[in-house]
Amino acid sequence: MAGPSTGPNPLGATVQTVAPVDRSEAAPGALPYVGLAVVLLLWGFGPPVSKLLTAPPLTASFARLWTSSLAMLLLGLLARHRPSWATMRGSFIAGVAFGLNSLVFFTALSNASIATITVIGSLQPAVVMLGASRIFGERLNRRVLTWTGVAIGGAVLAVLGAGASVHTNALGVMCAIGSLLAMGVYFLASKHARKSLGAWEYVTGVMLWASILVTPVVALGGGLNHLDAIDRVDWFWLFVMLIGPGVGGQLIMGWSVRWVPVSLSAMILLGSTVVAIVAAWPIHGEQPTLVQLVGCVVTLGAVGLILQGR
- Cα–Cα separations (whole angstroms), residue 237 to 15, 45, 117, 243, 251: 37, 12, 20, 10, 19
Half-sphere exposure of 70 (CA within 13 A, CB side): 7
Q: How far is CA 172 from the centre of its chain?
A: 18
The one-character DSSP state at 246 is I
Between the two ends of the chain, the Cα-to-Cα distance in Å is 24
Residue 23, C-beta contacts closer than 8 angstroms, at least 6 positions apart = 259
Residue 232, C-beta contacts closer than 8 angstroms, at least 6 positions apart = none
CA distance 149 to 145: 6
CA distance 224 to 215: 9
| pLDDT for the residue numbered 18 | 35
| pLDDT for the residue numbered 15 | 37
pTM for the structure as a whole: 0.74
Q: What percent of the chain has pLDDT over 90?
A: 16
Least trusted range by pLDDT, from 87-91, 198-202, 221-225, 273-277: 273-277
Q: Is the pLDDT of residue 92 over 90?
A: yes
Question: Per this entry, what is the length of the chain?
Answer: 310
Q: Is the pLDDT of residue 9 over 60?
A: no
